Each structure stands twice: as structure tokens, then as C-alpha cells.
Amino acid sequence: MDALPAKAVGFTGRDDELRALLDAFDPSAPERPAAVLVAAVSGLGGIGKTALAVEAAHEACGRGWFPGGVLFVDLHGYDDDPVTADQALEALLRALGTAPEHIPATADERAALYRSTLAERARERGAVLILADNASSPEQVRPLLPGDTRHRLLVTSRNKLPQLGARLLPLNELTPQEAYALLDRALWIADPSDSRVADGAEAAAELASRCGHLPLALQIAAALLVLDRDKPIAELAAELTEFRDRLTHLDDGERSVRAAFDLSYRRLPPEQARLLRLLSLAPGPDVGTEVVTVLTEADAPPTRALDALTRTHLVERGNGRGRWRLHDLVRAFGVGVVAGDAALVEEGKAARGRVLEFYYRWAKAADDRLRWLPGMPEPERFVDRAQALGWLDGERAGLVAAVQWAGEERYADTAVRLAECLAEYLEWRRSFDDWITVGRAAREAAHRAGNRLGEGIAWNNLGGALRQAGRAGEAIDAHTRARDLHRAAGDRHREGIAWGNLGLALEEAGRAGEAVDALTRARDLIQAAGDHHGEGIAWNNLGLALRQAGRAGEAVDAHTRARDLHRAAGDHHGEGTAWTNLGNALWQAGRAGEAVEAYGKALETYREFEDWYRAGRTLHNLALAHEVAHRPSDARACWLQAAEAFTRADAPTEAAQARDSADRTNKGPDPTPPPTPITP
């Protein structure tokens, strides 16, 4: 008796999972709890559950573990007419040799006969493996449990089945390496001379990514390539680029990813189906329970529905507890379902609007906390900087994605305001790529809407991101546009801020004279507006340009003014920045002892704020000062501390440079060590 299907052609990967199943089957393994009587392989439709189960069954039989034979039954759990447990028992009894007329009519009698027949088979021939494929519920499977502990039952399902007391083996998508191997092997089997995967490894990796590393999608992609021998892999990958149309292409006429997902979707209760659709519209790679609650407009988190969808593998646990994600192709499926129904489209747009308003409210509160100074109103929700940064860190990907909804008119205004709230945070975390993305989306949306104020702010923030990313020329253009927009609107205060950022970009570009002029203009405009804190920033920036222009004495005065203004405003971090730059100016003025003292003051502040990047920059300057003073051991200690600070700031290049400097310390100081400036 051997009813196993043939092995899947081109089966690859799954080494760990295969070992886990074989370990559960091994009759020579030490005595274990009865749970090993059942192994339940679960996973998303198309994840390769049946292929793995069949591979494991063939391997186990090849090792002689099941001399009594193998029984296979497809329960069609997700079809319109699934196989019932009674029908499955009848089929299994027939396979065991029971004559039809001897099969009882009732379920309990059939189950009893099934167990006694298996027990007799165990005595006469040995253990039997029963493979129940494609189950959708414990009720389909529970009557199939063998009574004799020598037998094994292996179940595959799109649902986790913890109720069975089974050894659970959830399957995830393939690794990138396994996906690459699957594509390569599939093309080689069809034609051993087909080297398109090996010749285009980068394109193959991109294709695998577009397939979400899902075995079914990869097999379909491979079939499409086999059918069109002249089709470059890069061309097929490009066809899968458009997210909404991806599932349309993943169909080879016989197999379809959309059809596989539709089987699961149609079985969902209305609440779960709605939640899946809305999750497909959520921003970012994963979302927290709080955002899910906003999406669904529920009074309380839809925990039960989320847990149910997780058991079906349509929803997965995200990056951290209380976070949720969809496989890329499930997300594409959900987006497609929504797009096909006008009422669902409107429901989805309303849900996105709620999420955007939610994000704006709390990003504004977090931004207020990051900018908070004594005397200001207390922001909502966040009691300190750490709490605000923690929330922003957790939601960053979603926040950045939500800003990009600005392309739709109904979201543009809120998205532009949200982008403004993220500038301080993204600069603090040195997430310059995200900052540029957010700035561009806001700028374009504000321009289309005729929102000149929002456009000017967006240009200014975009310029700051470009400058920090080392693109000074583009930053100059951006700040010039911001300056002109604010000037045209008669907003002298914001014009002054734009002048200040333009001056920093000019300084970065080596245009010190123009930078001094721009920053002087900024200082005067901000001073006239009565913004004493902003004036402190303007003095600090002016000092940087004066020092670059060789006017060290004036730079010392400017940074001293900045330090005092920041201190008066209660801006301890800004005061630390002024101390650093004052140290640089003192250094240039030949006052090295005072410079070291200033760096020490700055370092205390940065450590207090856990501003590790600026701490690293300050330690860099201190190390240079010790080298010039012929204190190599102190210099080396500072270099190593700088490397540690840069590492904590996720600045690996600067960390490596600091370690290299520590290694060369004993070789003598840099003849002209330039201290590094720090901008507010």
C-alpha cells in the first residue's frame, strides 16, 4: 500500500524543516510525549506545504520507517465542497482493504474501525504514515488520529492547528538563496543549457523578490520563462514591478497565485475579510495594533480577528510584539480586491484618511516634544524625548509611507503637514534618504495644491536633507526656492530661516564669503522677528561661516553669543552645539586649552541627550587636540570613544575612521588637523 503522490519536480531548500519532520517520524528517537503522533505543517497558500510533506514522506519511507505503508488523502479543505471527516475515513478504510459493504454508516463506528484496522496493520506489517493534505479545520483531522502510537499522522493546512496537540511546523517564504536555486533548477530541468539565472543573477534575485520568495509564484515565473526561451529574466521582473498588476502576471494558465489566495479569502468571516482588505492598504511594511484599530474604526483593538488571520497565515507577526504584516503578494491580493469594488475603494480611502490624521496628531505631539523648551506648553502623550523618539522609531516606515499618499488630492494637506513634523526627527536619526523622500513628496503636493507656505517649508526641509546627505549644490537650489517663496508671501521670519539654511549650504559648498552674507541676513531677519531661540541658531551658523572665512576672532564672539542665547532659552542641546563650535573657533584662534574645555562641556551635553553622532564628532575634535599637544594616550582613548559613539549612532564609516586614527596615534599627529563643525 503506497498512495503517495510523486515528489515535486525541482524541490529545493527547506533543509531545516525537512529535518524537523523526519525527527518527528523517527521511530528510534527517544520516548517523547504523544504530541509527536501528529505533525502539522501550516502556511500561506502556495508556500509549498504539500511539496515538503510529500518530500518528507518519501524520505521516511526510503529509510524503512513505515513498513506498513502510506495513506494519502486530500481533504480539499478550501474548496467549495471540502471533504468531511466521514468521507475521509471511508476513503482511508477502502485504502486499507476494507470492503465497501463492511464500512459502517456512522462516523463514530467508522473511526473505531479505522483505528482497529490500523492497529492490526501495525501488528502484521508495522507502522503506517497517514498524510492528510489541505485540511481547513481540526474537525476534518481529529477522527483520523491513529490509535496505535507506532503510526504517524502528517497534516498540511493553511491554518495553524494547535487544537490537535501536534508538533507545529509553520512555513515561511523561501530565503533569497533558496528562491534563486528554485528558479535555476526549474529552468535547468526544462533545458540544461538554459543559463539565464546564472548569467543574470541580479535580475534573478529581483524576480525572486517580486515573487515574494513564495514557491508557487516562483514556479509560475519559472514556467513563464520556460515557455518563452528568449525572454530575459529582467523583462519578467519588470512586468512584476507594478504592484497592483503583479498577480495578473503570476498566472501560467494552470496555476494562479490570485486563485490560491482567493480560496482562503472566501472562507473568511466578514469581519476578518474586511480587516484583511484594510491591512493591505496600511502604510509601511508592518503596522502596530493601534494603527490597525484606527484603520478599522473600532472602539477596541480587533485582537480576535487578528489572531484568527494569523492562524490562517494571511497575517503574520511583524517586527516586534503587537505589530502585524502581510506577505507582499497577500497585500497585492487585498489591494486588487479593494480596487474591484467601488464601495470598497471608498471604504479604503476613508480608512487611509483616518490613519493619516492619526499619524499627524501624534507626530505633531512627538515633534513638539523634541523641540520643547522650558516655558512652552506641554505636548500631548509624550512625557519626555525618549518616549517621543521611541514612538517615532516604531512608526517611522509607516510615517514615511503615509506622507507619500500626498499624491492624492484628498490626503495632500495632511500629508504635507505630517512631513513638516518629521524633519527634526529624521535629522536627529540621520535618516537622510527618508528625509529626502518625505521632502520631495511634500514639496510636490504643496505645489500642486497652490499651498505656497507648505511648499516653502517643504523646500527648506528638503534642502536640509540634501545638505546633510552631501549634496550641497542641490541644497542651495532648494533653500533659494524656499527663501523666494517666503519672501513673496511677506513672511520675514521664515525667509530668515531659509537664508540661514542657504548660508549653511553655501558654506558646505566652500563659498564662505557668500555664506557669511547669507547668514548675516538670516540673523538680522530672525532677530527682528523677536525669535531669541532662532537668533541663537543664527549666531551659531554665522560663526561656522566666519571661521571658514578665516575670521576666527569674530567666530568666537558669534558662538559665545549663540551659547548664551541657547542657555537663556533653556535649550541645553543647542548650548552643547554652540560649545562644540566655540571650541573649534578657539582652536583656530590659537587658544587650544580653552578649546579642550569647550569640547568637554559639549561632550557632557551630547552624552546626556544620547546624541551619539555629535558626541563622536566632539570626541574626534578632542582627539586631534590631544595629538597636537603630544598626549598620544589621551588621543587614542578619545579615538576609541569616538568609534564607540559612532557605532551607537549607526555611522560605520566614521567609526572605522576613528579606529584607524586610534591605530596610527603613535605615529604622530596630523600636521594640520581640522576640527569638525556641528550645525544645530
**294-318, pLDDT tens digit by residue?**
999 999 999 999 999 999 999 999 8
Helix residue spans in 450-591 (DSSP H): 452-468, 472-488, 492-508, 512-528, 532-548, 552-569, 572-588
- What number of other Cβ atoms are within 10 A of residue 509's Cβ? 15
> Strand 70-74's sheet: what is its strand order?
70-74, 129-135, 152-157, 38-42, 167-170
Cα–Cα distance list, 446 to 3, 169, 453 (Å)? 65, 50, 8
Instruction: Determine the Cα–Cα distance for residues 147 and 37; give it in Å rounded to an integer.
Output: 9
| pTM, two decimal places | 0.88
The amino acid present at 280, given as its one-letter code, is: S
- At residue 666, the 3 state secondary structure works out as helix
**Residue ranges, the chain, pLDDT below 50:** 1, 671-672
Q: What letter would DSSP give residue 157? A: E
CB of 616 closer than 8 Å to CB of 646 = yes
Do residues 281 and 335 make contact, with C-beta atoms less than 8 angstroms apart?
yes
Instruction: Note whether 261 and 309 are within 8 A (CB).
Output: no
pLDDT of 57 = 94
Give the pLDDT of residue 1. 46
Q: What is the pLDDT of residue 164?
A: 86
CB atoms within 10 A of CB 32: 11
**pLDDT tens-place string over residues 181-203:** 999 999 999 999 999 999 999 99
Q: CA end-to-end span of the chain, whole Å?
A: 78
- The amino acid present at 179, given as its one-letter code, is A
Q: In the numeric block, which cell numbers belong to residue 316?
A: 503574520
**Residue for grid cell 503637514:** 417
